[in-house]
Amino acid sequence: MEQVSEKKFPLNAESYKLYEEVGEGVSATVHRALCIPLNEIVAIKVLDLEKCNNDLDGIRREVQMMSLIDHPNLLRAHCSFTAGQNLWVVMPYMAGGSCLHIMKSAYPDGFEEPVISTLLREVLKALVYLHAHGHIHRDVKAGNILIDSNGAVKLADFGVSACMFDTGDRQRSRNTFVGTPCWMAPEVMQQLHGYDFKADIWSFGITALELAHGHAPFSKYPPMKVLLMTLQNAPPGLDYERDKRFSKSFKEMVAACLVKDPKKRPSSDKLFKHHFFKQARSYDYLARTILDGLRPLGDRFRMLKAKEADFLVQNKALYGDKDQLSQQEYIRGISAWNFNLEDLKNQAALIQDYDGATNTEDLNLSVKQRDNHDDVGYPAERLSPEKANQSDAAPQPDDGLNNIHDLESSLAAFPIQPLKALKGCFDLCADDVGTGSPSWKNASQLHSSPKDEDQETGTDDGENLGQSCSMPSAVVPCRKKNVKAQMHDSVLYPKRVGGDGDREFVQPRYPSDRNYSGPLPYRQKKDINNHSSAEDTSEGAVVQRKGRFKVTSAELSPKGPTNCFFNPISEGSASPTTPTLSAAAVLPSLQCILQQNNMQREEILRLIKYAEQTSGNSMELSEVGTNELSLVWTADTFRSTREESFSLDDSLQQSIGSLVEELQRQKMKNAQLEKKLNTLVKKEEKIRE
């Protein structure tokens, strides 16, 4: 157990009194609480480790980060400890809540420019600090910008952050497909060459738009569509006409961040010097402007939850089940959705519906929440055109949908990650913390203008802004103890405040309950070549966090996404077979086919691996037989055993060959479908023009 701030925050649950719930994530609830011995109000994030067993690495990273950071604009943990099956992270209480919650409660159309400038400047300071220390936050968004009662701004949520200095497995995790779709940079989606700090700059630009409009661009669309639009459309931005209320410098700042080529985006410290931030004001200004008149955070949180519940009830008749409702939650920016096969189909259907412009109203999307921006219809932007092999096979638009059930049974064979992955995950000692992490010493000296210092002197109810530059000695428990074992030992199981049935959306632990499908073609199983570490166990599969994707690059094709619909191919000679068919109509089916192909490819790889293992076993068996029968061993039996092995090898080679051929066929089919899709999209664009 570790103590990370100067004050001695107790490391046991009895020393805290949990009050109302003020926030929640997929497997965590956040409570206002009292630290009894210090008589200080804090926030406690209670993470249910049983529910997070697929993402223990993420939790470990988050807790590490929250303890190591030392910057006034980053939310630092006071301490963390396990209590029963939960991990408690004690942190300063941010009484204003997140910018997203504030907007939802009182500013549905976004904030005024000076407010945005002030908020973003503080966030940017946090990013400058993180980037200078080699970290990418990877989840910058209004929901992760918290404000305390004095108006102090802190960037929170390090659950998916990554370190640029990591090597090996950890480096691979840096190339992970991770983040929240609407805020995700194109290069993160593409997975072509990895990405770096500039991914945060893109998310920062999207966050600027979110703060300006009350919601992120494309937020009304389902995740697959968001990915497609982010890659194919021109970058979103502030419109010169529609966003008249905003200054030229704001528009320019956003445009500078939202450039598709990451190299052309400014670094965080360069961006910090942008003219737009000159209008930033004090924390006090924020407190007066956006916090004044707001109800206590707990009340607001309860009201928002009640609204959401109402929304769900209203839509229940329309959508029937929870999975579809979670999709709706995502669309509204609430951020939860559940991955399963039904979702996949629903999403495909939704894309069609949106494109067909038939039933956005049916979906009960509030007009206010819609992004007019999204409807402008930016010209499609071609990305890294790539020549593709052609085959004569005609596309079967509904292949993908029809074959989803086959996939389900095929995927059900994939290994699951047992709860035992918990073991060791929090067994971190001081030494472990230093490993692979940059030094955080003297790290809070970044970009502090006199004005900043002025702002940062404020403290509030329980706030410990951690001005000290000292690096905490360790983060999480030093005890080498299995968390799972602690769960049963402990009598300190925290009382849940404000129970919530919906929280059962989190991933189930058993194969029969597991959802293997997802909204993305990248949704794949654990890297079949890598079974080595506990970290891999948690990195290897798609982690289903609220509103986020996470797939390691290791799970992607080693030769690059040749069969990925994110890479439009170059213009070819083939013309569409059905000129009257609109791109919108075939898009969902094509996406499903592509997704299916990707999954089939994975299945083939798995079979190859299995075949290789079987081959190895057969040799081993031969050798075992040799030892047992050593007395009657002759040159003939040796020869015949060897021949049998070789013929087995041959037949395995043949099946591998045919599997590889099948893979090639699928790739070609895929490429052809992509090409046709592109042609259709172009045609439609021409018609529109």
Ligand X SMILES: Nc1ncnc2c1ncn2[C@@H]1O[C@H](COP(=O)(O)OP(=O)(O)OP(=O)(O)O)[C@@H](O)[C@H]1O
Binding-site residues from annotation: 45
Piece of 20-28, 403-411, 432-440, 480-488 that binds ligand X (CB under 6 A): 20-28
Task: Residue 562: name the closest of 672, 475, 650 by CA.
Answer: 672
Q: Using the rule CB under 6 A, is 214 a contact of ligand X?
A: no
Q: Determine, following the binding rule CB under 6 A, whether residue 333 of this chain makes contact with ligand X.
A: no
Q: Is 94 in the site for ligand X (CB under 6 A)?
A: yes
Q: Which is nearer to ligand X, 540 or 547 (CB)?
A: 547
CA distance 640 to 387: 49
Residue numbers 158-177 binding ligand X by CB under 6 A: 159
8 Å CB contact between 74 and 126: yes
Task: Candidates 3, 4, 10, 24: give the one binding ligand X (CB under 6 A).
Answer: 24
Please tell me the distance from the alpha carbon of residue 489 to that of residue 647, in angstroms, as a whole number: 56
In 55-111, the DSSP E strands lie at: 79-83, 86-92, 97-98
Residues 351 and 588: their CA atoms lie apart, in Å, by 6
Selection from 166, 3, 206, 205 nearest residue 539 by Cα:
166
Cβ distance to ligand X smaller for residue 93 or 354? 93
The CB-of-503 to ligand X minimum distance in angstroms stands at 11
Of 462 and 472, the one with the shorter C-beta distance to ligand X is 462
Nearest approach in angstroms of CB 307 to ligand X is 15
Q: In this structure, what token pair is assigned to residue 206?
A: 């999207």
Residues touching ligand X, count (CB under 6 A): 27
CA distance linking residue 329 with residue 311, whole number of Å = 9
489 in catalytic set: no
- How far apart (Å, rounded) are the C-alpha atoms in residues 412 and 88? 34
Does 522 bind ligand X (CB under 6 A)? Our answer is no
* Contact with ligand X (CB under 6 A) among 3, 4, 13, 23: 23
Query: How near is the Cβ of 684 to ligand X at its closest, in Å?
Result: 36
For ligand X, the closer of residues 60 and 601 by Cβ is 60
**In terms of Cα–Cα distance, which of 346, 283, 286, 341 is closest to 319?**
346
Under the criterion CB under 6 A, does residue 506 sit at the interface with ligand X?
no
The candidate with the shortest Cα–Cα distance to 261, out of 352, 354, 383, 379, is: 383
- Catalytic residue from among 55, 57, 70, 139: 139
> H/E element holding 33?
strand 28-35
Annotated binding site for ATP: 45
Tell me the closest approach of the beta carbon of residue 443 to ligand X, in angstroms: 21
Question: Which of 125, 174, 300, 545 forms a contact with ligand X (CB under 6 A)?
Answer: 545
Report the alpha-carbon distance of residue 628 to residue 616 in Å, rounded: 19
Determine the interface stretch with ligand X among 23-31, 78-86, 287-295, 393-401 (rule: CB under 6 A): 23-31
The distance of closest approach from Cβ of residue 44 to ligand X in the complex, given in angstroms and rounded to an integer, is 9
Closest approach, Cβ 464 to ligand X, in A, equals 12
Cα(129)–Cα(269) distance, integer angstroms: 9
Stretch that binds ligand X, among 96-104, 171-179, 355-363, 367-375 (CB under 6 A): 96-104
Does 298 help bind ligand X (rule: CB under 6 A)? Answer: no
Residue choice 149, 176, 335, 552 for contact with ligand X (CB under 6 A)? 335
Q: How far is the CB of 545 from ligand X (least distance, A)?
A: 5
Min CB(189)–ligand X separation in Å: 19
Cβ–Cβ < 8 Å for 423, 475: no
CB 85 within 8 A of CB 344: no
Q: How far is 400 from 407, CA to CA, in rounded Å?
A: 10
28 scored as a contact of ligand X (CB under 6 A) = yes
The alpha helices in 145-197, defined as continuous H runs, are 168-174, 186-190
Q: Is 26 in the site for ligand X (CB under 6 A)?
A: yes
Query: Is residue 25 at the binding interface for ligand X, with CB under 6 A as the rule?
Result: yes
Angstrom distance (rounded) from CA 374 to CA 236: 8
Residues 136-155 vs ligand X: string with x where CB under 6 A?
-------xx-x---------
Q: Which residues in the 593-652 window bind ligand X by CB under 6 A?
A: none
Cβ burial, residue 365 (10 Å; 0-12/13-18/19+): middle
Which of helix, strand or coil describes residue 18?
A: strand
Do residues 456 and 467 touch, judged by C-beta distance below 8 A? yes
Question: Is 546 among the residues that bind ligand X (CB under 6 A)?
Answer: yes
156 belongs to the binding site for ligand X (CB under 6 A): yes
Helix axes 341-355, 583-628, angle to 10 degrees: 160
Asked if residues 83 and 95 have their Cβ atoms less than 8 Å apart, the reply is no
Q: Which of 177, 170, 160 is nearest to 557 (CA)?
A: 177
Between residue 97 and residue 136, which ones bind ligand X under the rule CB under 6 A?
Answer: 97-98, 101
| Helix 404-411, helix 341-355: angle, nearest 10 | 150
Binding string, residues 50-89; x marks residues near ligand X by CB under 6 A: -------------------------x--------------
State which residue, 138 or 676, has the beta carbon closest to ligand X: 138
Residue nearest to ligand X (CB): 25
Residues classed as catalytic: 139
Contact set with ligand X (CB under 6 A): 22-26, 28, 30, 43, 45, 75, 91-94, 97-98, 101, 143-144, 146, 156-157, 159, 335, 545-547
